[in-house]
Amino acid sequence: MTIVVCIKQVPDTAEVKINPETGTLIREGVPSIINPFDMHALEAGLQIKDRVKGTVIVLTMGPPQAETALRDAIAMGADDGILLSDRAFAGSDTWATSFTLSKAIQKIGADIIICGKQAIDGDTAQVGPETAEFLDIPHISYVRKIEEITGTSIRVQRLMDDGYDVIESPLPVLLTVVKELNEPRLPSLKGKMAAKKAEIQKWGRADIMADENDIGLKGSPTQVKNIFTPEARSGRKMLEGSTEEQVDALLQELRGIRCL
């Protein structure tokens, strides 16, 4: 069984700070990490491999530096890493990204594709389902539990707003996973050795035979018009006095704005 795990290298948004003078992001010294949801996708892939035997291939699209994310994934237990990197991929929105990934996945030939629910930098949650559509395979979003997997089908729990659904799908299938699914393992010593030695395959546009009108900025229907900093929250008020005085003050404020 071939399991492809799609990962993305992202800046750790928790470390991003705003320059109070210019209102711009300070990215200096912000570490790059594997998108946290993708860690759960990788763990899911490794667990499936343990259960039914197979190969776990990690796939990412990004600049040459993204290779470190693939090596980190190999240290955790992935068998192979493929880096999609080409100037022609630059500026891809979710449509072009999904298209590019789907071309690579077609070349690999996967039984299960696993993605994190969303990436913490863009937060769109679109690349997984769009990729499934390009591959013409079903997808299941927000997987919180894998109940059963055989060589031809899978049964999972999908998290919904009001509970969860138990869903069955034939393979191949694409899953997007939430963090409730599992606890990602730590890299092993053997894994770290393998990561150092691993040959990371690098694929460009020609390797996946993508039409240049379908990739990168040219293939992206959406454009970023501008970026701005959200207005800072105003009107902070620390309530003072004893517990009772603070509670009374709060109730008065809430009544004043008709919240009670």
Partner 1 sequence: MPVIINAEKCKGCEECLSSCPFDAILMKEGKALINEYCQVCMACISMCPEGAIIEVEKEAPVGLEDMHSYKGVWIFAEQRGGQVASVSYELLGIGRRLADDIGTDLSAVLFGAYQSEAQELICWGADKVYHSSDPIFEHFHDEPYAQLLTSLIIEHRPEIVLTGATPIGRSFFPRVAARVRTGLTADCTSLAIDKETKNLLQIRPAFGGNIMATILCPNYRPQMATVRPRVMKRGRYDESKKGDIIHVKSEDLQSRTKVLQTVKDTSDFMINLQEADIIVSGGRGLGDPKGFKLIAELAELLGGAVGSSRAAVDSGWIPYRHQVGQTGKTVCPKVYFACGISGAVQHLVGMQSSDIIIAINKNPEAPIFNVATYGLVGDLYEIVPLLIKKIKEAKGLLS
> Which of positions 130-149 make contact with partner 1 (CB under 8 A)?
130, 132-134, 137-142, 144
106 binds partner 1 (CB under 8 A): no
- The minimum distance between CB 208 and partner 1, in angstroms, equals 16
φ, ψ dihedrals at 190, nearest 5°:
-60, -40
65 contact partners, CB below 8 Å, separation of at least 6: 9, 32
φ, ψ dihedrals at 178, nearest 5°:
-100, 170
39 contact partners, CB below 8 Å, separation of at least 6: 116, 184
The site map against partner 1 for 154-173 (x = CB under 8 A) is -x-x-xxxxxxxxxxxx--x
**Which one of 49-57, 73-81, 106-114, 237-245 is the stretch in contact with partner 1 (CB under 8 A)?**
237-245
- The minimum distance between CB 39 and partner 1, in angstroms, equals 10
C-beta atoms surrounding 30 within 10 Å: 16
Q: Compute how many residues bind partner 1; rule: CB under 8 A.
A: 100
In sequence order, the β-bridge partners of residue 26 are 17
193 binds partner 1 (CB under 8 A): no
One of 54, 128, 184, 191 touching partner 1 (CB under 8 A)? 128
45 binds partner 1 (CB under 8 A): no
Give the nearer residue to partner 1 in terms of CB position, either 105 or 195. 105
Q: 3-state DSSP call for residue 77? A: coil
Nearest to 120 by CA among 44, 15, 212, 237: 15
199 binds partner 1 (CB under 8 A): no
- The minimum distance between CB 78 and partner 1, in angstroms, equals 21
